[in-house]
Chains A and B, each alone.
Chain A
Amino acid sequence: MTSNLEGTEPPVIAEVRDLRVHFGSKRGRVHAVDGVGFQIRDGEMLGLVGETGCGKSVTGRAFLNLIPQPPAIIAGGEVLFRPRGGAACPACAGSGCHACGQTGGETLDLLKLPQDRMRQIRGARIAMIFQDPGKALNPTLTIGVQMAEVFLQHKSDELLQDAGISADDRNLAANALRRIAHQEDRWLDRRLKRFPPLRQAAGRIQQALDARVAAALAETQIANPLRVMRAYPHELSGGMRQRVMIAQALACDPDLIIADEPTTALDVTIQARILELIKTLQERHRTAVLYISHDLSLVRKVCDRVAVMYAGRVAEVGTVSDVFSNPRHPYTQGLLAAVPRAGARRGHLASIPGSVPELVNPTPGCRFADRCSQVMPACTQLDPVLGSVGEGHSVACFLEHPPHAGAAKIEKALTE
C-alpha cells in the first residue's frame, strides 16, 4: 500500500490516543507506555515494532482491556474502536461526521467500556494471537473444548438455531438447553442432558459446535481437524498449536486481530509458514491486524504500514515503503541498519550503542537522546511530538520539527 489519495483510504477502525500505562514498582513508576498514538485502518496490517520492553505488548493488550491492574495504572489516553456494523454514531445518526471518521458507526472507548460490553467484543470483534501458543492454550483441556468456548460465548443463538431450538421455546427442556449453550448450565442441566429428551437436542448442539470448530481449524490448513480437536495441547507441535490459536482468533470473523509476536516462540523452520498463513487469512477475511514484532524484516514482508516504538512512545509511523526506503527518525535508521544481521541477540540492536533507558520516573526530553548520534541541546529538555514529514508519514524528532520559538526560549534560558 503506497500513499493513498484522501477519501479512498479505508476508514479508521481503531485508534490509540495518547495512551499512558504505568507500572508501580519498588523503584518507582515505570512509564512503560507513555503517550502512544496511532490509527489502524479497516483491513490493513499495521506493524508495531521496537526493541523488547518498549511497550508493544502492553499497547496491544490495551485493545482487549487485558492489562492487569494492579500492577498497571492506566494513566491516561483512549483506545477507540469502531466495530463494523455496530450501532449508529450518536452525533450524526449514521450519516457520517467528523466524530466517527465519516463511517457513521459508533465509536467505543475500550478502556472505559463496562465489563460485559467488553466481553462481547473480546473474541468476537477483537481477537488476540499470543506469542507462545504453548502457554496460551490450557494444558488440561482438549483443543476442541477450548475452541468451542469462543462459539459458545458469541454464537450460542446460532448454535441453538442449528439444533432446532427456537427462541420461543420456553419449556423446561429448552430452557436447560439454552443454559447449556450459553455456558450458564447448572449442575442439574449437566445431569439431565445425558437423558432423553435433552440428550438428542444436546447432541445436535454439540454437532453444530463441532462442525464450526472443525471448519475453523480447516481454514488454517490443519489437515485432520477432528483428530486435533480431540488432542491436548502437549500432543501438538508448536506450529500446530499456533494454527489452533489463529483459527480461534478468526473463529468469529473479527474486525481486528492483535497478533503479539505470533512467530517468535516458534521453530525457525515454520515461522515463515505461519507468517504467510496469517497474511493469507488476513487478506481473505479483510481483517485489520496489529502485527507486533521486534523483527523489522517480518514487518516489511507482510505489513501495509508500520509504527516504530521506542521506550513507550511512537517514534515514527508511515507506510512500509516510506518508512523503509526513507527512514527519518535516527532510531528507525539505526534499526534498519541492524536488520539483516543473523546471529544478533533477539531484540538487541548491534548498530545502536547503549540500551533501552530505564523507564522509571523519566525526565522530560527525547527518550532516545542518550543513544542518539545527532542529539541537540533541546532534545534533553523537551519532548518531541509526532509531526508529518509527508503524506501519511510522521516522525517525532527535533531534526524534522525544531522546537517552536517559545520552547527555544526556554531552552536558551536553561542552557545559559
Chain B
Amino acid sequence: MQLRDYIIRRLLILPILIFGVSVIVFTLTRIGGSPIGVYLSHEMNAEEVAALEERFHLNEPLYTQYWYWLKAALSGDFGYSGVASAPVAEVFWPKFAATMELSIFSAAVAVTLGLWLGVFAGTRRNKWQDHVTRVVAVSGASLPLFWFGIILLIVFWANLGWFPVGRSNAEIWASIAHPTGFYIVDSILAGSWQGLVDALWHLTLPAITLGFGAVAIITRMMRSALVEELQQDYVDAARAKGLPERLVLNRHAKRNALVPTVTVIGLTIAFLMQGAIAAEIIYRWPGLGRWMASAVVRGDQATIMTYVLFTSVLFLFANLIVDIIYAKLDPRVRLGD
C-alpha cells in the first residue's frame, strides 16, 4: 500500500471516530450530572425547574437528547456557559487559542529538544554527557508539574523578575489585531517584533513547566531506541560499506530509532494537553484551564462537553499525524506486515 492510500484510509475513519467520541463524551457528561444544575437556585419553584427540564429535553430518552445536542453543535451552537454567563461558542475560541498556543509551543520545543538530547546521550552512551542527561531526564519525568512550575515562578518571576506572568503586555496587544487568537501568529501577521518578543517572553516559563516532563520522556525513549539500533547488524553493515558515521547515524540508526519514539511522542502530547490546565493556573494564562476548573466544580455541562470534545478531536488529529509519520518511517506498517 502506498503512503497516500494509507493516509486517505485513515482520514476516512476520522469522522467515525469523532462521532464515537462525541457519543461517549455526551453520555458520560449526562451520567455525571444534570445540565440544568448550573442554573438552579433555591429561589426557583417547581414550575421553573420543570420549564428548565423541558428546555433541555430531559424528559426525552438520552439518544434524542444527543440528537438535539448534535444538531445544535453542527450549527455552531454549543450551549450556554453558566460560568462565563455567555454562549460557549462566543467565549470558547480566544481561550482555546491561548491553550493551544501554549500546548503546541511546548510540544514543538519538547519534541525538538527531546530528540536532540536523546541523540546526544545515545551517541555518548555511558559517558558523562549521557549520565548528566539521564539525571535531567529522570527529574523531568518525576517532578510534579505543579510544584516545578511554582518553583520556577518563585525564582524567575517573584525573586529575579526576569519573566512575566499572564499572556501578554496589555499595551502592546491593544495595538495589534488578533485575527487568529494565536499571539505568535498575530504578531507576525502584524509585523510587530515587539509583539513577537512579548509573546515568546510570556510563553517561556509556562512552556518550560509544561514541556519538561515531555522532554524527559522523549529523551529517554530516543536514547534507548538509538542505543538499541546502534547495536544492530545493519549499522555495522552500513559502516562496512564505507559510509561516514554521519550517514550511518542520520540515514540508518536515527531514522529507525524514531519509529518507537514517535509512538511515545503521540502519548506525551495527550499528557501535555492535560498538564496545560495546571500550567495555566500557575501562570495566570488566560486559557481554557481556569474556565474548565470552575465549570467542573459548578457542573457547567455545556462547557465541559465542548472542552472534552475539542481536546479529544485534537488528540485524534495528533495521533493521526503520529501514525502517518510512523507509516512513513516504517514500511512494514503501511505494507500491512
Which A residues are closer than 8 A to B by beta carbons?
A: 61, 64, 66, 119-124, 127-128, 130, 132, 135-142, 149-150, 153-154, 183, 232, 234-235, 245, 248
Give B292-331 interface residues, CB cut-off 8 Å to A. 329-331
Q: Are B242 and A137 in contact (CB under 8 A)?
A: no
Contact with A along B154-183 (1 / 0, CB 8 A): 000000000000000000000000000000
Contact in complex: A137, B234 (CB < 8 Å): yes
Most buried by B among A61, A149, A154: A149
Contact: B242 with A122, CB < 8 Å?
yes
- Are A138 and B238 closer than 8 Å at their CB atoms? yes
Interface of A is mostly: mixed
**Judging by beta carbons under 8 Å apart, are A130 and B242 in contact?**
no
Q: In the complex, what residues of A have CB within 8 A of residue B233's CB?
A: 130, 132, 135-136
| Contact A154 B242, CB 8 Å, known A232-B331, A232-B332 | yes
Report 28 cross-chain contacts, Cβ distance below 8 Å, ordered by A residue.
Answer: A64-B240, A66-B236, A66-B239, A66-B240, A119-B244, A122-B240, A123-B241, A123-B242, A128-B237, A128-B240, A136-B233, A136-B237, A137-B237, A138-B234, A138-B238, A138-B252, A139-B234, A139-B330, A139-B331, A141-B252, A149-B247, A150-B241, A183-B243, A232-B332, A234-B331, A234-B332, A234-B335, A248-B241
In the assembled complex, the Cα of A183 lies from the Cα of B238 at a distance in Å of 14
Max chain B Cβ within 10 angstroms of own Cβ: one of A128, A137, A140, A150: A140
Which residues on A sit within 8 Å (CB–CB) of B331?
139-140, 142, 232, 234
Q: Does residue B256 face the partner (Cβ distance < 8 Å to A)?
A: yes
Residues from chain B with a CB closer than 8 A to the CB of A127 are 240
The 9 closest A-B pairs by CB, nearest first: A123-B242, A123-B241, A135-B233, A122-B242, A136-B237, A138-B234, A128-B240, A136-B233, A119-B242
B residues 217-266 with Cβ under 8 Å of A?
A: 232-234, 236-244, 247, 251-252, 255-256, 259
Among A121, A137, A141, A153, point to the contact of B243 (Cβ < 8 A): A153
**Which residues in A have their C-beta under 8 angstroms from that of B337?**
234
CA distance A61 to B243 in the complex (A): 16
Tell whether, in the assembled complex, residue A135 and residue B242 are in contact, meaning their CB atoms are under 8 Å apart: no
In angstroms, Cα B232 to Cα A154, docked, is 24
A residues in contact with B247, CB < 8 Å:
149, 183
* CB-defined contacts of B259 to chain A, threshold 8 Å: 140
A64-B240, A120-B242 given; name 17 further pairs at CB < 8 Å: A122-B240, A123-B242, A127-B240, A136-B233, A137-B237, A138-B234, A138-B238, A139-B234, A139-B330, A139-B332, A140-B255, A142-B331, A149-B243, A149-B247, A150-B241, A150-B242, A248-B241
Query: Is B241 a contact partner of A136 (Cβ separation < 8 A)?
Result: no
* Of B242, B255, B335, the contact of A232 (CB 8 Å cutoff): B335
In the docked arrangement, what's the CA distance between A269 and B237, Å?
25
Q: Which residues of B contact A130 (CB under 8 A)?
A: 233, 236-237
Counting contact residues on chain B (CB < 8 A from A), the size range is 20 to 34
Complex CA gap A120/B259 in Å reads 31
Query: Taking CB as reference atom, which chain A residue is nearest B328?
Result: A140
A130 to B241, CA, bound (A): 12
What distance in Å separates the Cβ of B149 from its nearest Cβ neighbour in chain A? 37
Complex contact B242–A136 (CB within 8 A): no
| B residues in contact with A137, CB < 8 Å | 234, 237
A139 touching B241 by the CB < 8 A rule? no
What is the CA–CA distance of A61 and B337 in the complex, to the nearest angstrom? 33
Closest to B331 in A: A232
CA distance A183 to B251 in the complex (A): 11
State the CA gap A139–B259 with chains docked (Å).
Answer: 11
> In the complex the two chains form, what is the Cα distance from A221 to B232 in whole Å?
28
Q: How far is the CA of A67 from the CA of B244 in the complex (A)?
A: 16
A162 CA to B218 CA, complexed, in Å: 45
Within the complex, what minimum Cβ distance (angstroms) separates B333 from chain A?
10
Contact between B332 and A149 (Cβ–Cβ < 8 Å)?
A: no
Taken together as a complex, chains A and B put the C-alpha atoms of A64 and B332 apart, in Å, by 31
State in angstroms the CA–CA spacing of A248 and B241 once bound together. Answer: 8
Chain A hits for B256, CB < 8 A: 138-140
Partner of A123, one of B232, B240, B251, B332: B240
Taking the closest CB of chain A, its distance from the CB of B122, in whole angstroms, is 15
Expressed in whole angstroms, the Cα–Cα distance for A235 and B240 within the complex equals: 23
- Most A C-beta atoms less than 10 A away, residue of B237, B247, B259: B237
Complex: A136 Cα to B240 Cα, angstroms: 10
Chain B, Cβ-Cβ closest to A126: B240
Nearest residue, chain B, Cβ from A119 = B242
Please give me the residue from chain A that is nearest to B332 by CB atom.
Answer: A234
Please report the C-alpha to C-alpha distance between residue A120 and residue B337 in the assembled complex, in whole angstroms.
37
Residue among B233, B240, B243, B330 facing the most chain A CB atoms (10 A cut-off): B240
Q: Is the CB of A153 within 8 A of B241?
A: yes
CB of A238, distance to nearest CB on chain B (Å): 14
Query: Which chain B residues border A135 with CB–CB below 8 Å?
Result: 232-234
CB-CB nearest in chain B for A65: B239
Find chain A residues with CB under 8 A from B255 CB. 140
Contact: A235 with B242, CB < 8 Å?
no
Most chain A CB inside 10 Å of its own CB: which residue of B232, B238, B256, B335:
B238
In whole angstroms, how far apart are the Cα atoms of A132 and B239 in the complex? 16
| Nearest CB in chain A to that of B330: its residue | A140
- Which residues from A are CB-within-8-Å of B242? 119-124, 150, 153-154
What CA separation (Å) do A154 and B240 show in the bound complex?
12
List of A residues within 8 angstroms of B244 by Cβ? 119
**Roughly how many angstroms separate A142 CA and B329 CA in the complex, as a whole number?**
12
Q: In the docked arrangement, what's the CA distance between A138 and B331, Å? A: 11
